[in-house]
Amino acid sequence: MTDLVIRALDDSDATLFDALPDPLGHQETHRRTRYRPDWRRVALRDGRVVARAAWWGGPDDTEPVNVNWFDVAEGEAEAGAELLRGVPWRVELELTLPSGWRERPETRAAAETRFAAARSAGYELLVERFLYRWTPEHGLPARPTRLVYEAEPDDEVFLDALRRIHSATLDAHALLAIEKGGVDLAAREELDFFHWCPSPREWWQVARTPDGAPVGIHIPAHNPSGPCIGFIGVLPEQRGHGYAYDLLAECTHFLADHGATFIAGATDRGNFPMAAHFTKAGFPVVRERVHFRP
């Protein structure tokens, strides 16, 4: 094979990024995403693009949060690996895939080529997730009246709830943070993400029973791509009553009442209870995402 050339892009040659087939539908998935030109890379062989990647971050971030667009031509897994190795950022890699991608030979082959490239570059699988999208034609979910919701201005109340929620969590990202620095780190990373979101702090809500017993929290949010279910969490001692559905329904109504014409959501593939709540609340799975950590 001829030598590989890896280059960053700028405004003058940004069209090179589009010079590769898109079997996994990244173009549609990221049509609202804005990438900085210098956070995009292509790998070329004989002048032909054989791999591409785009790193993403918020408008005020000085470094990328993740790489969320990664494509590799068939037979060029090592070129994709070299592309990932050759950047200064070691951040999480997110591969967004069509729903049911394993059932179609062409999407499965394309995904596995990218998985091989990621592993060769030193990444390992963290978790697979379901991605949901509610729109008005699905109807608003039934809104239980078992709980009372109110805004809470004190971050310490949310930190305390997050520590307790993450002490018995199924979430892979929270478990990774706990592995690094305990439940306090997991709680603080979650809180930092809520503050990073451009939606109002006043939207965060705590949930209690009518007699005042704390049940959990829900965070209606906007990320840079639009409205989303930021967080749903039930305290360990309150689990087993289906309260996560109540919180999800309330969060959905809250965002719809604030003008949302779509609402994104996500949960780990192995979190069967939360996946069932999303289905019950009228959130169809629209994509899947595989997360690799460096």
Q: Are residues 155 and 210 in the same domain?
A: yes
Q: Are residues 198 and 77 in the same domain?
A: no
Residue 150 lies in a domain: yes
Q: In the listed set 76, 92, 122, which residue is the last one of a domain according to the structure?
A: 122
Q: In the listed set 77, 93, 122, which residue is the last one of a domain according to the structure?
A: 122
Q: With the C-alpha atoms ordered 254, 262, 286, 289, is the resulting torsion angle positive or negative?
A: negative
Residue 189 lies in a domain: yes
The single residue listed with the structure tokens 């995403």 is 33
HEC string of 227-292 equals EEEEEEEECHHHCCCCHHHHHHHHHHHHHHHCCCCCEEEEEECCCHHHHHHHHHCCCCEEEEEEEE
Q: In the listed set 122, 149, 165, which residue is the last one of a domain according to the structure?
A: 122
CA–CA separation, 243 and 230 (whole Å): 16
CA–CA separation, 131 and 268 (whole Å): 9
The alpha carbon of 244 is separated from its chain's Cα centroid by a whole number of angstroms, namely 19
Q: Are residues 76 and 107 in the same domain?
A: yes
Which range of residues forms the domain containing residue 203? Answer: 137-285
Q: Are residues 107 and 246 in the same domain?
A: no
Per-residue pLDDT for the chain (294 aa), expressed as one digit of tens each? 578 999 988 877 778 888 888 888 877 777 777 888 889 999 999 989 999 999 999 888 899 999 999 999 989 999 999 999 999 999 999 999 999 999 999 999 999 999 999 999 999 999 999 999 999 999 999 999 999 999 999 999 999 999 999 999 989 999 999 999 999 999 999 999 999 999 999 999 999 999 999 999 999 999 988 999 999 999 999 999 999 999 999 999 999 999 999 999 999 999 999 999 999 999 999 999 999 999
Residue 292 lies in a domain: no
CA–CA separation, 231 and 174 (whole Å): 12
Model confidence, pTM: 0.92
Q: Are residues 95 and 152 in the same domain?
A: no
Residue 127 lies in a domain: no
Q: Are residues 173 and 268 in the same domain?
A: yes
Please tell me what DSSP assigns to residue 226: E
Q: What is the pLDDT of residue 215?
A: 98
Task: Name the phi and psi angles at 135, rounded to 5.
Answer: -135, 160
| Total domains in the fold of the chain | 2
CB 253 within 8 A of CB 243: no
Q: Are residues 162 and 251 in the same domain?
A: yes
> Integer distance in angstroms from the first to the last C-alpha of the chain?
28
Task: Say if residue 227 is exposed, middle or buried (CB neighbours under 10 Å; 0-12, 13-18, 19+).
Answer: buried
Identify the CATH number of the domain in which residue 77 sits. Answer: 3.40.630
CA–CA separation, 171 and 201 (whole Å): 23
CB 157 within 8 A of CB 288: no
Q: Are residues 81 and 13 in the same domain?
A: yes
Closest C-alpha to 184, from 156, 204, 153: 156
CA–CA separation, 159 and 186 (whole Å): 10
Q: What is the pLDDT of residue 21?
A: 83
Buried b or exposed e, range 204-215, using 16+ CB within 10 angstroms: bbbbeeeeeebb
Q: Are residues 115 and 184 in the same domain?
A: no
Q: What is the pLDDT of residue 2?
A: 72
